[in-house]
Structures are given as C-alpha cells and as structure tokens.
Structure 1
Amino acid sequence: MELKGKWKLYYFIDGSIKINSMEDLKNSGIACVPATVPGNVELDLSAAGVLPRDLFKGNNIRETERYEIYEWWYETTFIAEKPSELYDVYLHFAAVDCFADYYLNGIKIGHSENMFLPNDFMVGDQLLYDQVNTLHVNIKSPVIEESKIEPDVSTISTSWNRSSKSSNVRKAPHSYGWDIMPRALSAGIWRNVELQYKPKYRFTQLFFVTKSITGNCAHVTLCYDTVLPIECLNGNSTLIIDAECGDSKHHSEHTITFKSGKLDFCIDNAKLWWPKNYGEPNLYNFK
C-alpha cells in the first residue's frame, strides 16, 4: 500500500522545542504546512507561500539557507488491513534526506542517516489493524548533526566549500554548493513510502549464472539469500527448482543448510540465448 500524496509538515529551529509526545506537535503552536510525498521541504514551503514560488529566479534560492538549522516533522495517517499469520508487515522508505527518526503511533521504529539508501522497518506489532495509524518522520538539521561529529581536518584540504560540513554526511555533495550549483541544503522524504506485506519465509536475493556449457548441457549456479526460521535450517529444508523454456524443462531438489548459499545444477537440452541476427534470445522461467 502506497503512502505517497498529501502529508503534514511541522517545522521549527532544531532543538528549540522539546517534543515529548506526538501531541506536542499540535499543541505547541508549531508552524505547519501541507506537504507532498515524495518531495522536499523547500518545495512544500514554496507551495505554501513561505518561500518564493520560483526558487530558481534570481537569488531566491538564498532564502532557503535560514532553514538549514531547522528540524522537520512529517505526519500522515492510514488504515492497515490485518495480514494472515504467513506474512510480516514492513514500512518501506525508498529514501529519506537525511538524519531521520521514524515513529508509528508514537513508538520509535527506526533511524537512518543516508539519503541514498532504502530502509525497511518491521511494524507488525506496532500497527493498529483496521484502525487509524499515525506515522511521523522527524528529520534533523544536517548542519547541527554534522557539528556533533569530530572531523578529520585533512579532508578540508580537498573540500570545495572550505569546511568539513559535507565530508561525513551521506547527502548529495552538490547540495552544499559547487561552482556551478547553488547551495540548497534540502531535507525531505524524496522517494516513495509503502506499507508492504511480505511472506515470513521468502527469498530476498536470487542470482543465476551459467558457468559453462558442455554439449547440450548448461551448468548453472544459483546463489541465494532467504528469510527462514531457525528450525528450517541445518538440513531441514529443501529448495525445489523448476525451470522451463519451450520444450526444455528442468526439475531438481536440493537440501539447504543455511539461510544463504549457492548450489549447482545442470539443464539438459538447454536452449541458448543468441544475439540479434544469430538466433532466438531464449529465456528460462524459474520458480
């Protein structure tokens, strides 16, 4: 279930107001504007008339600099259906910029410090099923968070902006300003948010590689990672492979002894993938 669209955005100087509970956001007279997710705080402030409508005109972008020491609280609500016992429930954040804490129904569920990486938080025990759930994302000022980190002053010698501000923060470097880019030290939930239902027992990664071909036989290696309970390991589980491409079929069964690993098998009468003008680009369906 996608949680993109209209959210609320509260903002104030980082640390100037103590938030002890989510009710403090509503009861402390904190500034609030509508927000769009995915998006970023400057565009939301611009849409609300707090910042100029056209941030790329003249020196308008400079007006965003005073918000570099602000913290931001995103808020939305949603209703979740209760899954079967065979599924776990996760909140998936594709990317958040940058120092963020996550709260579901007032309970902290996670933390992140990288604007480029996705984050998944298991929330099955915190959700209120078939009721209204409230989700908050608190994004801290990157300037203030960076000031808490002891710098390696040797990195300043190669720094464009004459400081160590960006050397320890996993943000887009150009946001600190380059010779051809204005400084725009943004924040926000800049990629999608989803409530995901995943099978309790599942593959998380699969990778097939054809190692060699002997006659009509293709020697294939499968590398895998799974989510499995402890009782299914130590040789108590079987991985079944079925592959098909036209009249070429394969079936094999393999005992697995750990959550991740690799195994080898051969496909007889293998159909090959040929480049354009050399033959058919055959592909196998695996399950």
Structure 2
Amino acid sequence: MTTAKTPKSRSKKQAADLVSAESIPVVQALESHLRYTCFKTHKVSTSRDWYNTAANTVRDHVVERWVNTSESYFDKDPKRVYYLSLEFLIGRMFSNAALNLGIAPEVKKGLNALGQDMEALAEIENDAALGNGGLGRLAACFLDSMATMDIPGTGYGIRYEYGMFRQAIIDGQQVENPDNWLRYGNIWEFQRPESTYTVRFYGKLVEFREGDHVEHRWVDCEPVLAMAYDVPIPGYGTKTVNNLRLWSAKAAREFDLFHFNAGNYEKAVEERNASENISKVLYPNDTSVLGK
C-alpha cells in the first residue's frame, strides 16, 4: 500500500510551461489588458482605463516574482519577520512597483507608443489610505526594506475603507470629507475569502460540566468576520516580493430578512453596519462618547 505524498510547489517543468510576464513585449501586454481586462478599445478608453491597463501590466511582473518568492519560502521554510501595525502608508503602488522592478523605462516607452503618458496615469491612482502619519510611513519603510534585503517578512494591518479624511477649505473653515480611496477598486489587492475568521467581542466566559469533565464556553458575544486581503510589496533591485496582509471587518449576518419584511429597513442592516464600522476609518472623532 502506498502513502499519498503531500503536494509540494510546482516543478520546474510546470513553471516552464507558463508564459512569463517578462517574455511578453510591453506593448503587447498593454494592448491585451486594455481589451481583455478592461474590456475596452482605443476608441472608447478613458484615462482611468489606461491606468488600469498599465497597472495590470506592471502587476503581472510583480505577481510572477511574488509567487516565486512564496514558493521559495515554502520550500526553504526560513525564519520570518511579522510586523503588526495599525497603519501602513505604502503610497501609490504603480510607479513604485515599476521602479523597484526596474521596468519603468520599458513601461513608459510602451505607453508612449500607444499615445499615453506614464506620469499622468500614475497621478490617477489614489494613495492607499491606510494610515495618517509617521507611524504608517515607518511601517511601510520596514516592509520595503525587508523585501529589498531579501528578508522573509509579512506585514499585518487593517484595511480601512475610508482611511482618515480628505480635507477641504470652505469659507475659510476646514471641512472633513471621507477619503474614499477604494471607490474605483484597488488593483493591487487580492481578496482572500478563504481566509475569513470569526472574531468575538463582548460576552462572558461560563463554566459547565459534562460528567467529570469541566469545560468553558464564551457566550453572549457579538461575532464579527475578519476577511483577509493580500498586497504585494516588491523590493528594490531584487526578485523578492513580500506580503502585506490586511483585514477587513464583515458582518456575520449581513441582512436580517425578518426585520426587512416587517418594514424595519434600518434594523435589517443594523448588524452589518455595526460590524463593518470597525474597519471604516482609522481614528473616529473622539468628541462623542461612541467615538471615544
């Protein structure tokens, strides 16, 4: 009788069967993403379509190195560094990734051949609103440095939906508006619904017996789901791409059909709103009791 072996990373032959992103001419990759990823043609494409096209082209190169890095860590099982932070000010990924991978000149030349300006497209990308100040910038620098120095490392943080706030001055007064940086999606993140865990808040611990066995159970708690999103962090001048894992709060029960059918529409989504508020904003205004 034979014992099934645990599958390991793909073989060199399997890897060779895949088409490398680096082997595809940049102009060809751009044309392909415009048509098949954005479902657009030159005649109807917008500036944002071209940003998405260019970002996806660069992302292909990042992902290829990301996969190779992950497989290397899996095979060698090195010691790893895990950096936890409430903030990660990683900035704009498109231009930074192209620079770190050393493909910025090729991408710029390819875009120019198609009548597009790389610098103008880079301005379309929203800054990742995952922080507020020095703490977030320092955390991002640590991640960049670990990847650049080929140190196996992973960052862990929260995927804020609105980050901090976007400032506007109206009639000489500061007005705070939500920084909806995810309005158009985020090409650089990969949702991992298979990595969703239940986090319990409040409640109490009770003791009960089953025969001679004493057990403890957490009851009267409020469960919230934490869903993972992965963001690649490419090092400068190296093949290493490390990972930033961000967590987003999701409701354990998104919609209450009983309350909805009874006409209580606000109550129907109350649990969802309460749960997802956890990862809405970095620091809520503390002038109210709830904010504190």
Tell me whether the two structures share a fold, i.e. TM-score over 0.5. Answer: no
Please identify the structure whose Cα radius of gyration is greater: 1
* Alignment TM-score, normalising by the size of structure 2: 0.19
Give the structure with the higher percent helix: 2
Give the structure with the higher percent strand: 1
* Alignment TM-score, normalising by the size of structure 1: 0.19
